[in-house]
Structures are given as C-alpha cells and as structure tokens.
Structure 1
C-alpha cells in the first residue's frame, strides 16, 4: 500500500534525526482544487433538436455550475466553459457572483441573464453538447483547470432523460 510505504519512509527519516512532514491526500483531491464545479449537464434538450433562435429548444440545453465552497463567494467573470472542440466555448464576460452553495445554469439560446434566477444565456442558439458523448470543461480566468467531466449517453444517462449529474 502506497500510504504505508510513505509513512514508513517518514518514520525512518524521523528516527534518523531528520524532520519530515508528510501530507497524505486521496487521489481525487486534485479534482477538488476549485470551489466551482460542474454540477450537471442537460446535454440532450427535451424534444426534437432545433437551433432556430425563435422556435428552437436550445434554451433547454444547459450546464449547471455550483460553488461548493463553504465560505468563499466566487465571481464567474472570466471563467470558461467548453466542450471537446475548442470552438464550442463560452466565457463569462460579466460579473456574476456565486455565494457558497449557490449555482448558475448556463443555457443556450438568447435571454436576459439574471442573478435572481441563477441563469446566464450563451446568446447563441447553436447546441454545444453532443447527444451521444462529449466532455464538459471548466477553466478559471487564469486559464487553470477547474473541473472536467466526460459523459456518454449509454454509460452515464441510465434513465435516458438527457441529464447527467456529476457532483450531486
């Protein structure tokens, strides 16, 4: 077991007169280095897909981003959401503050952003998420990785409703 070998090495170093500090972290700890996480994605909008801005259903396709911090408020300005291709991306250009435990739904289509309704629109009627499989990426304003989730319809959407939850 890796942790035991690290602890044994640390114990040997301490008994040899060397001060050692060991911090054991679970393998998934890197995933939680950001307080903002992708909570879920409605990758397949209900109904027949139509990206017609007036009558289509691209507003029903969305990704939910949640602030999992217990204390920090996070401003979404500068955060980037994208899929596997680099051309399908959205950058939050305005201030949008998420209090601890709060979330925002980034929807397709045109609409009015609302802090009160926890919604931001991409102002684009084209669908971003593939209906069979894709990857959702979230990047910090610095360009650093915040969260990523890949999905496949057959593996991850057991009830077939087009929605997949990632962080509960």
Structure 2
C-alpha cells in the first residue's frame, strides 16, 4: 500500500520541481540567449523622406546571429504591421555577425541585403518588426510607438 501512494507523491514532487525550474529564467532572457534575433532598426530614414533609393536604403533592420555557427536564412521572413514581407533568399549570416535588410534597391553583399521597394516600409509613428522562421514560427519581434531619433535598439 505504501508503494502505491509513494509513486504519486514522487511524481507530484518531480512535476513541482520541473515546473519551478522552468520558471527560473525570465522569458525575455530565454528568448535571446542564443539564436537569430532583431538588432537595431532605423525606421525613420534620416533627413527628408524623398523616396530616393539612398533615402530608402537609409531605412533598415539589423538581424543578428548570436550563435557559434553560421545560419542559413533562406525562407526567413521580416514583416511589418501592415503585412509588408521580405523573404530571404539563400543567405548565410556568420556566427556573431549581423545582416542589414535595407528597404531600397541594391546588390546583395556581405552584411547587406535589399528589399527592392520603391516606398518606405516602417512607420515612423509606430510599427512592429517581426522575424519569422521558414516554418512560420515567430522568432523575434520589436516595436515602437512614436518617432524619436528614428531608431530602435531591440536588444
């Protein structure tokens, strides 16, 4: 009889211990301890918004690889609140490195990719950048509510 009651007690104690271990790390720390995440965002292109290619390319989002190995970003998506979506083609970001996704047109190079848009994506008065894995899972997000200096340091 003691064995029957000890097993449920042991299971309850193990479950309680596991539950307390799961809550030990804050959610924000757990989300950014490693992996790929949003870095700094230049959501308001400096100067007057002229829609010139150089002005469009001065609006960008950094994506940082915080892992110890390169990450293939093919199929990853960057989205704003209105649904504008940039989907990465084949692009490797090295360990500890950052890639800037520029709004305008340009030639892909080390650390720089281009959305190839003719108009701005990020709203100066408030928006939310979302980084989404190829499987559709939200990997990271970063939002702002008003125009300040035109930049947001997400992490």
TM range (shorter): 0.7 to 0.9
Q: Do residues 100 (structure 1) and 95 (structure 2) align?
A: yes
What TM-score do you get using the length of structure 1 for normalisation?
A: 0.76
> 1:39·1:66 contact (CA, 8 Å) conserved in 2?
yes
Q: Which SS does the other structure have where 1:120 is aligned?
A: strand
Stretches (4+) displaced over 2 A = 13-19, 23-34
1:57 matched to which residue of 2? 55
2:3 matched to which residue of 1? none
> 1:105·1:119 contact (CA, 8 Å) conserved in 2?
yes
Q: 2: distance between equivalents of 1:163 and 1:14?
A: 56
Match of 1:164 among 137, 152, 155: 152
1:3 matched to which residue of 2? none
List alignment gaps of at least 5 residues for structure 1: 1-12
List alignment gaps of at least 5 residues for structure 2: 1-5
Q: 2: distance between equivalents of 1:17 and 1:63?
A: 50
The count of aligned residue pairs is 143
Q: Which SS does the other structure have where 1:17 is aligned?
A: helix
1:82-118 CA distances to partner (integer Å, 9 max, x unpaired)?
10011x111112x211122100000011110002xx1
Q: 2: distance between equivalents of 1:109 and 1:138?
A: 19
Q: 2: distance between equivalents of 1:108 and 1:140?
A: 20
1:94-149 CA distances to partner (integer Å, 9 max, x unpaired)?
x211122100000011110002xx10011112100001110001101111111011
